[in-house]
Structure 1
Amino acid sequence: MIIPKTSVELDRMREGGAKIGVILKKLLDKAQPGVSLLAIEAYADQLIHESGGEASFRTVKGYKWSTCLCVNDVVVHGIPNEYVLQDGDVLTIDVGLLYEGLHTDTAWTKIVKSQKSKVKSERVKKKLGFAPESLALMNEKEKFLAIGEHAMWQGIAQVRAGNRVGHISQAVQKIIEGAGYGIVKTLVGHGVGRELHEEPQIPGFLKSPIETTPLLVRDMTIAVEVIYARGKGAVVYTNDDGWSIGSRDGSLTAVFEHSVVVTDGEPEVLTQPHVDTSGAGLTQAIQ
């Protein structure tokens, strides 16, 4: 059953969402060549403790970590381990915060870059700003992430009272598949708030007519989540840990996710700040 949040609950989620947005930004900044996944997890524990909240993911039965850290072909539920990040790795950081009894959830994917690579990307940004032409200068990994972020924002743009979940799904699917990438259809976005995962499910693809999908009602809170791969999108369990799910064909994967409030007008994104992960303009370059 889908129950809109009260004004008190929304205020708490706004505060918690702002906190986890800052935490995610700090974790992404820490993710540099030579840093282990365990070091990122330890930093997340520290930041979550300092925020006054709890790790949402530790409320999931059997899951003992504060983050999901997914490298290259691992798309979701990657367990933090001893792996040391390498220049050029594609890393997804997924993290949630339970704050004053309410969850917010967010995820972002970045390319792990050496200082030399970052300087090159900054030169592209200074030369072209956020012009569409910057897409042509992106490498394949940068373009892959730019498309996914763009799909997330276009999905979020459909989050308003009176629309349906299918409007979000359709917007995401059009961009991801239009770019030649594969949506992971067995993994979806979701409601969020009183529980980490609530109704309704928010697929990244349209699997039934829009008018048959759940109606978006004011003060609902949902996690819009774009989960996709450079290959076909089929996934399997991997890493022999019982949690990690990766692409069946070994292709690169990525996830972009924000928690959002349904309003009568423009959607309210709870889990800011916005993060530029490629150094090439990302969203603005392709809107």
Structure 2
Amino acid sequence: MIHYKNKEEIELMRKSASVLSAALEAVAKVLKPGMTTLEVDNLVDQFIREQGAVPSFKDYRGFPKSCCISVNDEVVHGIPNAYALKDGDIVSVDVGVYLNGFHADSAYTFAIGNVRKEVLDLMTATKAALYKGIEKAVAGNRVGDIAYAIQEHAEKERGYGVVRELVGHGLGRQLHEDPQVPNYGKRGSGPMMKEGLVIAIEPMVNLGTKDVAYMDDGWTVATRDEQPSVHYEHTVAVMKGKADVLSSFAGIEAAERANPALNANY
């Protein structure tokens, strides 16, 4: 069942998303080679709790940490650990925030130091695909219109592998609600979207093939060919005429540009 939100509920979700975006901005300010993914997780956990919110992922279905942190060929759901980030790595930081009874969900992929141009191009294309999908998140369109726009840009135009096994989703009082929001599909297919639907749109795009494998830890998903994967995600409210993006990359991107450890790619 799809749960539509009224204006007041959407504003509460915007507050959750604001805390989440600020947490990712805090990561962008300090991320550097030598920092462990567990240190990133601790930073985000502390930041969220200091805002009076709760990390949505902690203990969700048994997940042990507050962030999903996925490095290089890891697609999503990486468990933070003692791995120290290295020059040339890319790292996706996926975060959920629960505040005032509502969740928000967003992810951002960072390039550490000097990253190969083909990987930077993958990052650019995946972020662009996210916004292509967001453009279709308007009342009267169907979920398949979002899916088609993402796949068309990332896979058909750029030749990358769009992951099939993992999809975006509705969210609100629950972290995962209906409908599922795939990153591939046909225009005009799937549920029709109405004003008040809030969804997480999150393309997961691989440099090589679309195929993935599940790791022995029970959570981490990686590319089967061990090529890099990129993940970006926004919390989006469906509206008439134009989608309302509740999360924001603006502060993250500004902090990224100001951080010398990340700035080599600009």
Q: Would the TM-score normalized by the shorter structure come out above 0.5?
A: yes
In the other structure, the counterpart of 2:44 is 44
Whether the 8 Å CA contact 2:69–2:79 is kept in 1: the answer is: yes
Runs of at least 4 residues of structure 1 off by over 4 A?
Answer: 277-282
CA spacing shift, 1:281–1:81, aligned 2, 3 Å? closer
In the other structure, the counterpart of 1:241 is 217
Larger Rg: 1
Unaligned runs of 5+ in 2: 257-261
CA spacing shift, 1:167–1:279, aligned 2, 3 Å? farther
Q: How does 1:45-84 map to 2 (within 5 A)?
A: 45-84=45-84
Instruction: Confirm or deny that 1:189 pairs with 2:161.
Output: no
Unaligned runs of 5+ in 1: 119-137, 283-287
Deviation at 1:50, TM superposition (A): 0.8
In the other structure, the counterpart of 1:198 is 177
Deviation at 1:237, TM superposition (A): 1.3
Deviation at 1:265, TM superposition (A): 2.0
CA spacing shift, 1:27–1:263, aligned 2, 3 Å? same
Equivalent-residue separation in structure 1 for 2:143 and 2:263 (angstroms): 32
Equivalent-residue separation in structure 2 for 1:156 and 1:7 (angstroms): 19
Q: Please say which of residues 3-12 and 217-226 is displaced more in the overlay.
A: 3-12
Deviation at 1:58, TM superposition (A): 1.6
In the other structure, the counterpart of 1:271 is 247
Give the secondary-structure state (helix, strand or coil) at the position aligned to 1:141: helix
TM-score between both structures, scaled by the size of structure 1: 0.85
Q: How does 1:95-244 map to 2 (within 5 A)?
A: 95-113=95-113, 117=114, 139-177=117-155, 178-206=157-185, 209-238=186-215, 240-244=216-220
Equivalent-residue separation in structure 2 for 1:182 and 1:54 (angstroms): 34
Q: How does 1:3-14 map to 2 (within 5 A)?
A: 3-14=3-14
Equivalent-residue separation in structure 2 for 1:59 and 1:250 (angstroms): 28
Whether the 8 Å CA contact 1:67–1:95 is kept in 2: the answer is: yes
Whether the 8 Å CA contact 2:119–2:207 is kept in 1: the answer is: no
The size of the alignment, in residue pairs, is 257
Q: CA RMSD in A?
A: 1.8
Equivalent-residue separation in structure 1 for 2:124 and 2:233 (angstroms): 14
Whether the 8 Å CA contact 2:141–2:188 is kept in 1: the answer is: no
Deviation at 1:10, TM superposition (A): 1.0
TM-score between both structures, scaled by the size of structure 2: 0.92
Residue type of the partner of 2:209? K
In the other structure, the counterpart of 2:30 is 30
Report sequence identity in percent: 37
Whether the 8 Å CA contact 1:75–1:254 is kept in 2: the answer is: yes
Equivalent-residue separation in structure 1 for 2:154 and 2:264 (angstroms): 19
Deviation at 1:225, TM superposition (A): 0.6
Whether the 8 Å CA contact 1:28–1:93 is kept in 2: the answer is: no
After superposition, the C-alpha distances for 1:158-183 in whole angstroms (9 at most, x for unaligned) are: 11100111110111001111211000
Residue type of the partner of 2:91? L
